[in-house]
């Protein structure tokens, strides 16, 4: 079966002992662990034992395992377990303390062994208790070389009891009291004293028979020894849990319950999977460590991994700190510079827009000012305008008869409130002057005569003078109301030029 390179690589969990090789090939699909293939392969042949890699390669033929994340389980019987009581320390200080303590405790557990550990107590406790687990480098190398036929690199080399305990805790997070967890894989038995998913104590042994009755008797003896250790640690175990199915371990459960006088419960490790993804197999208990490793790889991290043991954190390099702060300062300066540039660009755009609008308004203002000057001129002209035709008609109607007066010169001009008529006249006698002034003068006309003198040469008009008539501006209706009372026709005034003979 081919997998797209864009999909997540599959997970392949493997464990083996002297009799069988067990594996589970699974994928993490949308937060759900989906088992694609599972099997337990016998190793025994007539001429010895088959290599695990050969068995796996043959059984997984047609499945793409080159990119698989390989998880290899290490049983309890292949490692050394030591429990250490250390002084109060933080978690990042524990690796150095554990390595130092192990080096002083035994010469064969120093630098020539791969060491990892699992803290049991919290960092606030007065004594830090840890479970230190070590494996010989040669054994670890042999196991890794065995797997290179399946994939390029081993991802995790996991201690099986801690993976089994983590699986149990995921299945029953509501159980907080101390308990004893039992798991059988062929004749290999792992006993784990657990509390809230943490292994406080673990033992491993091999039973000498496959008969259920004898297995139950040997298992009961080892469980009593383990419970004695728990009692010495002030931990009272009130329940025993066994991975497996009732059809396979019915006799074993009944014998342990009667012998130990403690309740014994069976758990199916595949209950952690959705019902439609749970495989149908026999001897389900043997796959509990593999499911625990898969769960931790898919949704967390391995609690105890020889491929990535806990190490003392390296002290921070001063150069790294300087580079960090320098980079942070450079980023900050670039942000500030970018902000200033953008702000300047925005201000420049706003200034250009304001200038454009100011020029537009200035042009409009010049047009309005020009038009307003014309309007003001017209308005001023209208304010100073005199209806001259009506004024001349009105003055003519009030003027003396042509036989007694003659206009020699007339000029018209406008003033602020009306107009001015400047006349040079000749009359027959001075009384005509008085009569003319009286006939013209009213609330719209002011008359003032000057330079009255007798003319030489005789003729009908022997007197000359100048008259200045000041007109007050009025509306057309005022001309109508100001018509002379006399309806008798008036002879037109004779207007002559000074050069008329």
One domain for residues 135 and 266? yes
In a domain, 98, yes or no: yes
Q: Are 162 and 118 in contact (CB under 8 A)?
A: yes
Q: Is 134 helix (H, G, I), strand (E, B) or coil?
A: strand
Answer yes or no: is 365 within a domain: no
Helical H runs in 28-126? 52-59, 94-105
Kindly list the averaged pLDDT for each block of 10 residues, start to end, along the chain of length 501.
Answer: 57 91 90 89 84 88 81 91 88 86 66 83 80 90 83 85 92 90 91 87 89 90 87 80 90 91 92 77 91 89 86 68 85 91 90 90 88 81 73 83 84 80 86 84 86 77 86 75 45 43 37
Element (H, E) at 115: strand 114-119
Q: What is the domain-level CATH number for residue 458?
A: 3.30.1360.100
Q: What angle do CA 230, 287, 39 make, to 5 degrees?
A: 160
Query: CA 444 to CA 417: how far, in whole Å?
Result: 11
- Cα dihedral across residues 413, 415, 420, 422: positive or negative: negative
- Position 111 scores a pLDDT of 56
pLDDT of 106: 60
* Beta carbons within 10 angstroms of residue 1's beta carbon: 10
Domain end position, chosen among 299, 319, 340? 299
What is the helix, strand, coil percentage profile of the chain, to 5? Answer: 40, 30, 30
Q: Which of 299, 317, 339 is the last residue of a domain?
A: 299
DSSP structural state of residue 305? B
**Nearest Cα to Cα of residue 157 among 1, 268, 310, 293:** 293
Asked whether residue 161 is domain-assigned, the answer is yes
Regarding whether 428 and 288 lie in a shared domain, the answer is no
Helix axes of 137-147 and 52-59: crossing angle, nearest 10 degrees: 30
Is residue 324 a part of any domain in this protein? no
Q: How far apart are CA 227 and CA 238, in angstroms?
A: 10
Q: For residue 96, how many other CB atoms are within 10 A of its CB?
A: 13
Distance (Å, whole) CA 187 – CA 215: 9
Residue 423: CB partners within 8 Å, gap ≥ 6?
407, 409, 410, 466, 467, 468, 469
Would you say residue 315 lies in a domain? no
Contacts of 400 (CB under 8 A, 6+ apart): 427, 432, 435, 436, 439, 493
Distance CA 218, CA 206 (A): 10
**Both tokens of residue 219?**
């298992």
Number of domains in the chain: 2
Tell whether 175 is covered by a domain: yes
Quick check: is 336 in a domain? no
Give the Cβ contact number of residue 467 at 10 Å.
21
Residue 402 to residue 397: CA distance in whole angstroms: 12
| pLDDT value for 234 | 65
pLDDT at site 351: 92
- Pair 286, 397 in one domain: no
Which of 249, 273, 299 is the C-terminal boundary of a domain? Answer: 299
> Strands (DSSP E) along 415-500, which ranges?
418-427, 445-454, 463-472, 494-495
HSE toward the beta carbon, residue 476, CA cutoff 13 A = 1
33 with 157, same domain: the answer is: yes
For the chain, how many residues are written? 501
Q: What is the CATH number of the domain that holds 219?
A: 3.30.420.380
Q: What pLDDT score does 2 carry?
A: 40
* C-alpha 479: how far from chain center: 86
Tell whether 288 and 153 lie within a shared domain.
Answer: yes
User: Is there a single domain that holds both residue 122 and residue 261?
Assistant: yes
Is 414 a domain residue? Answer: yes
Pick from 166, 164, 156, 154: which is nearest to 116 by CA? 156
Range of the domain at 456: 388-495
């Amino acid at each position: 079966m081919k997998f797209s390179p864009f999909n997540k690589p599959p997970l392949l969990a493997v464990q083996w002992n002297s009799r069988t090789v067990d594996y589970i090939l699974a994928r993490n699909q949308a937060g759900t662990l989906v088992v694609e293939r599972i099997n337990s392969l016998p190793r025994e042949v007539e001429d010895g034992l088959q290599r695990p890699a050969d068995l796996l390669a043959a059984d997984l033929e047609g499945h793409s395992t080159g990119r698989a994340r390989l998880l290899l389980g290490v049983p309890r019987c292949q490692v050394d377990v030591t429990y250490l009581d250390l002084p109060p320390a933080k978690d990042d200080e524990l690796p150095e303390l554990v390595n130092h303590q192990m080096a002083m405790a035994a010469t064969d557990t120093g630098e020539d062994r791969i060491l990892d550990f699992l803290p049991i107590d919290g960092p606030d406790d007065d004594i830090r208790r840890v479970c230190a687990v070590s494996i010989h480098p040669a054994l670890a190398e042999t196991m890794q070389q065995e797997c290179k036929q399946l994939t390029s690199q081993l991802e995790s080399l996991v201690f099986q009891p801690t993976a089994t305990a983590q699986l149990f805790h995921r299945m029953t997070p509501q159980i907080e009291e101390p308990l004893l967890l039992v798991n059988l894989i062929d004749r290999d038995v792992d006993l784990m004293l657990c509390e809230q998913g943490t292994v406080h104590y673990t033992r491993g042994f091999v039973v000498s028979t496959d008969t259920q009755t004898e297995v139950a008797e040997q298992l009961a003896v080892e469980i009593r020894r383990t419970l004695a250790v728990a009692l010495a640690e002030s931990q009272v175990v009130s329940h025993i849990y066994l991975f497996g199915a009732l059809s396979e371990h019915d006799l074993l459960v009944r014998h342990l319950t009667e012998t130990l006088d403690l309740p014994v419960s069976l758990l199916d490790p595949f209950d952690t999977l959705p019902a439609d993804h749970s495989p149908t197999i026999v001897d389900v208990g043997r796959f509990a460590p593999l499911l625990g490793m898969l769960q931790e790889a898919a949704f967390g991290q391995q609690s105890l991994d020889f491929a990535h043991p806990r190490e003392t954190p390296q002290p921070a390099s001063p150069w790294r700190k300087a580079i960090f702060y320098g980079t942070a300062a450079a980023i900050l300066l670039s942000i500030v510079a970018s902000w200033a540039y953008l702000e300047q660009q925005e201000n420049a755009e706003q200034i250009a827009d304001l200038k454009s609008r100011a020029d537009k308004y200035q042009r409009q203002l010049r047009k309005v000012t020009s038009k307003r000057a014309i309007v003001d001129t017209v308005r001023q002209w209208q304010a100073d305008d005199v209806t001259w035709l009506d004024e001349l008609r009105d003055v003519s109607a009030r003027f003396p008869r042509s036989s007694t007066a003659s206009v020699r010169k007339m000029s018209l001009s406008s003033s602020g409130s009306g107009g001015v008529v400047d006349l040079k006249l000749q009359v027959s006698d001075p009384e005509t002057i008085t009569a003319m002034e009286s006939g013209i003068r009213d609330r719209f006309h002011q008359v003032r005569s000057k330079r009255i003198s007798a003319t030489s040469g005789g003729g009908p008009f022997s007197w000359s003078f100048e008259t200045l008539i000041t007109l007050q501006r009025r509306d057309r209706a005022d001309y109508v109301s100001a018509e002379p009372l006399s309806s008798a026709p008036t002879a037109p005034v004779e207007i002559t030029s000074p050069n008329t003979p």
